[in-house]
């Protein structure tokens, strides 16, 4: 999430460009970090349309809610060294357990985007949201922290701190800064893919 349509579009384009560079380095489609760039670009469409419901809002929610808690732990599991893979099954299981009810809620209930100052809020009735947030964080941040790779663990620390700062600023409806953290994380991923031999990406 960014603070305006233009910021989302610029951040999304830059993040997608970094994703293309990552893919070019590893030559594997499943290591595709383009999803975050597409996510930001979709949100720029939501800004320009004034929020509400619609295909862009639903697409944003599908990526943010059920897809990311599956995509992140699966990506980390695929890239992890063999000795770390067993412990990564825990965040993957949390991701599956989180994604299923989130996908059901998106299929059964409408999701609405609301412009709140320099932030976008997404409204979806989620029963047991505290448990879902815990599972989401275990899947996304936890998988990075449990990775057998030092740079991925540092990325997990950055994502955890970034998520806390962004959430605090977003709750104050001051400004949404997640796009800036996503851009920083994408550059770190580019550095990570550049230093690893392509054959280590399974």
Which residues on adjacent β-strands are paired with residue 113? 52, 122
Any idea where the domains of the chain sit in the sequence? Answer: 5-200
Choice between 32 and 133, residue whose per-residue pLDDT is larger: 133
pLDDT over 60 at 200, yes or no = no
Its pTM stands at 0.77
CA distance 133 to 119: 20
Question: At which residue do the structure tokens 């059964």 appear?
Answer: 108
- What is the Cα Rg of the chain in Å? 16
pLDDT of residue 101: 95
pLDDT grade, residue 138 (50/70/90)? very high
pLDDT grade, residue 119 (50/70/90)? confident
3-state helix/strand/coil string of 66-115: HHHHHHHHHHHHHHCCHHHCCCCHHHHHHHHHHHHHHHHHHHHCCCEEEE
Chain segment 30-39, per-residue pLDDT in tens: 444 577 788 8
pLDDT of residue 32: 45
CA distance 70 to 142: 12
* Six token digits for residue 55: 């295909």
């Amino acid at each position: 999430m960014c603070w305006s349509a233009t910021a989302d579009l610029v951040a999304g384009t830059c993040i997608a460009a970094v994703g293309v560079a990552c893919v070019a380095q590893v030559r594997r489609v499943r290591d595709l970090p383009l999803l975050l760039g597409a996510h930001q670009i979709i949100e720029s469409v939501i800004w320009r349309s004034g929020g509400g419901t619609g295909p862009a809002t639903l697409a944003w929610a599908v990526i943010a809610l059920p897809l990311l808690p599956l995509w992140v732990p699966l990506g980390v599991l695929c890239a992890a060294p063999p000795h770390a893979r067993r412990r990564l099954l825990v965040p993957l299981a949390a991701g599956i357990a989180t994604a299923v009810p989130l996908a059901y809620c998106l299929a059964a209930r409408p999701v609405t985007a609301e412009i709140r100052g320099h932030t976008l809020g997404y409204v979806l009735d989620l029963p047991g949201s505290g448990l879902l947030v815990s599972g989401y964080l275990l899947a996304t941040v936890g998988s990075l922290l449990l990775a057998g790779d030092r740079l991925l663990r540092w990325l997990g620390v950055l994502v955890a701190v970034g998520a806390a700062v962004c959430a605090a600023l977003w709750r104050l409806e001051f400004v949404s800064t997640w796009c800036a953290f996503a851009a920083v994380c994408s550059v770190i991923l580019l550095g990570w893919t550049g230093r690893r031999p392509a054959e280590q990406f399974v």
